[in-house]
Structure 1
Amino acid sequence: MSLQQELDDFMAQVRTQVPAEVLAPIERFYAQELHTADRFPQALKVGDKAPGFLLPDAHGRAVSSVGLLERGPIVLSFYRGAWCPFCNMELRSLQQALPEFEALGAQLVAVSPEKPDQSLPLVEREGLRFPVLTDAGNALARQFGIVFGLEGEIRRISQDVFGVDLPKFNGDESWELPVPATYVIDRAGVIRMAFFDPEFRHRVEPATVLQVLRAL
C-alpha cells in the first residue's frame, strides 16, 4: 500500500468519528485558504540553495547540515509534530525506506518545532533510526518559506477538540507550524527535489524520493 493510500484510509476513519461541523473549517483552512497563490511566496524550490542548519536531535545532540553533506545528499523532511497522526505515518514510511536511502549514500533527517523532550517519545515508540531535530521557533522552516500560523477558530478546534497545545509542545506562544515538506539536497547544498503541499493529508511517496536520489 502506498503512503498516500494509507493516509487516505486513515482520513476516512476520521470522518466516521469526528463531526462534520468540526472537520469543515479545518478542511477549508488547509485545502483552500493555505493554497492561495501568494500564501508562501518565499517557499524554496528546485535549484535554490538550501539554508544550512545546526539543530539538536531528540537526545540534545547537535546535528549539522555540513556534517551530513560530507557523507552524502540530505533528505530533509519537515513535519508538524508527534501529535499529528499523518506525520507519524509519514515518518514510519520514511523509516521503512531508510535502508534504501542509505544504500544511495543519503542522510535522512526529520525536523519539527517540537522541543526535544516532546520528540523523544516519538523516536523511541517508532524506533526511528534517523535524526529527529528541533527547529526552535521554526527558524529553519522560515528560511525555507514554509511557516504558517493557526488563528481563531482553527486554533480553538486544534486545542479544545484535538488537544494540540502548541505552546506546551513547541515552547513558544507563536502557534506557528511548518507546512509538511520534503527536500532532497545534493552535496553542493542545492535543492534537487521540493515537495511542498499545505494540505496536511498529502505527503511525498518515499519511492519518489528514491527516484530523485538515484538520478543524482
Structure 2
Amino acid sequence: MATLAAQLSTLAEGVKQNAPASIANTITESIANLKKTFDKSAVIKPGTPLPSFKLPNALGKDVTSEDLLAKGGPILITFYRGDWCPFCNLALRSLQQHLDQFHAKNVTVVAISPELPNTSLTTTEKNELKFEVLSDVGNKFARQLGICWEQPESVKPVFDAFSIDLKARNGDESYALPVPTTLLVDSKGIVRNVHTDPDYMQRLEPSTALEWVDAL
C-alpha cells in the first residue's frame, strides 16, 4: 500500500499538470499566502483540555465530546475541508484503511468538516467510512481550536471552475474552511498531539497517529 504522502504527491502533480494555468497558479499562491499568514501560535496546544462540542453526524444525530469520551479510550479527530476536496478524500480513505489498527488500540476516530450533514453523508458513502463524520457548520468548533481559514476572494474562481458551490454545501455565506488538522485526545479529554499544516496538500500519516497512540 502506497503511503498517504505518496498518494497526495501524485495527486498534487496531477493538479499541477492538468488544471488550467490560471487555476493552478491561484491554488499555489493561495497556499503560499496561507503558509505566510496562518497563526500557528493560536492553534490548540498539547496539554490543553479539548473544548466540549455537540455536532450532528451524517444522519443529523447530535454527537457530543462527552459521548465519545464515554467510550473510555482516546479520540483521534481529523478536520477536513469537504467532500469536494480530493486531498481530503485520500486522507479519509487512508484513515479507513487503518481503522482496524485504531480500533485494536481502543481509539475512536472522528472526522469533522464545515459541510452540512446531508453532504457529509455523501462523504461517508463515497469513501465507505466506518467512523463518524460530523458537521461543524459555520466552523464554530474549528474557530475555537484556532484552525479556521478565511479564504481570500482570489480563490473563488477556483471553486467556480470546478463547479463547487461552497455556500450550498456549507450552509453559510462565508468561504471559511478549517486548516486540515489532526488531534489525539486522551481518555481524560486532554489534547496530547496536534498536527496542522496550512499546505492542505500535506496530511498526517495514519502510521504516525498510531505511533502517537502507542506513546500515551
Q: TM-score, normalised by structure 2?
A: 0.95
Residue 127 (structure 1) aligns with: 128
Residue 46 of structure 2 corresponds to which residue in structure 1? 46
Q: 1:11 and 2:12 equivalent?
A: yes
Where in structure 1 are there 5+ consecutive unaligned residues? none
- Could you say which residue in structure 2 is the equivalent of 1:154? 155
Shift of 1:163: 1.9
Query: In the alignment, is residue 88 of structure 1 matched against residue 89 of structure 2?
Result: yes
CA-to-aligned-CA distance 1:52-86 (integer Å, 9 cap, x gap): 11111001111111111122110000000000010
Match for residue 173 of structure 2? Answer: 173
Match of 2:103 in 1: 102
Q: Distance in 1 between matches of 2:54 and 2:38?
A: 30
Deviations 1:9-62 (A, max 9, x none): 1111222211222211211211x2112266354211222221111111001111
Aligned-partner Cα distance in 1 for 2:79–2:28: 20
Letter in 2 for 1:190: I
| Equivalent residue, structure 1, for 2:33 | 33
Q: Is the 8 A contact 2:15 2:24 kept in 1?
A: no
Tell me the amino acid that sits aligned with residue 133 of structure 2: V
- Separation of aligned partners in 1, 2:26 and 2:41: 24
**Residue in 1 aligned with 2:208?**
208
Equivalents in 1 of 2:151, 2:126: separation in Å?
A: 28
Q: After the TM superposition, which parts of structure 1 deviate over 2 Å for at least 4 consecutive aligned residues?
A: 36-41
Which residue identity does 1:203 align to in structure 2? R
| Distance in 1 between residues matched to 2:16 and 2:38, nearest whole Å | 30
2:102 counterpart SS class: helix
Distance in 2, matches of 1:54 and 1:162, equals 32
Query: CA separation in 2, counterparts of 1:29 and 1:85?
Result: 17
Partner of 1:73: 74
User: Percent of aligned positions with the same letter in both sequences?
Assistant: 41
- Is 1:145 aligned to 2:146, yes or no? yes
User: Structure 2 stretches of 5 or more lacking a match?
Assistant: none
The separation in 1 between residues aligned to 2:141 and 2:66, in whole angstroms, is 15
Q: Which amino acid aligns with 1:168?
A: A
Equivalent-residue separation in structure 2 for 1:39 and 1:154 (angstroms): 20
Give the aligned residue type for 2:76.
Answer: V
Partner of 2:137: 136
1:92-116 CA-partner distances (Å, limit 9, x unpaired): 0000111111110110000000001
What is the CA–CA distance in structure 1 between the aligned matches of 2:52 and 2:12, rounded to whole Å? 35
Q: How many Å separate the matches in 2 of 1:81 and 1:185? A: 22
Give, in whole Å, the separation in 1 of the partners of 2:60 and 2:196.
28
Residue of structure 2 in register with 1:59 after alignment = 59
- For residues 151-194 of structure 1, what are the alpha-carbon distances to aligned partners after superposition, in whole Å with 9 as ceiling and x for unaligned? 22212222x21222111000000111000000000112111110
Q: Which 10-residue stretch deviates more, 75-84 or 62-71?
A: 62-71
Aligned length: 214
**Partner SS, residue 164 of structure 1:** coil
Shift, 1:120, TM fit: 0.8
Give the letter aligned to residue 95 of structure 1.
Q
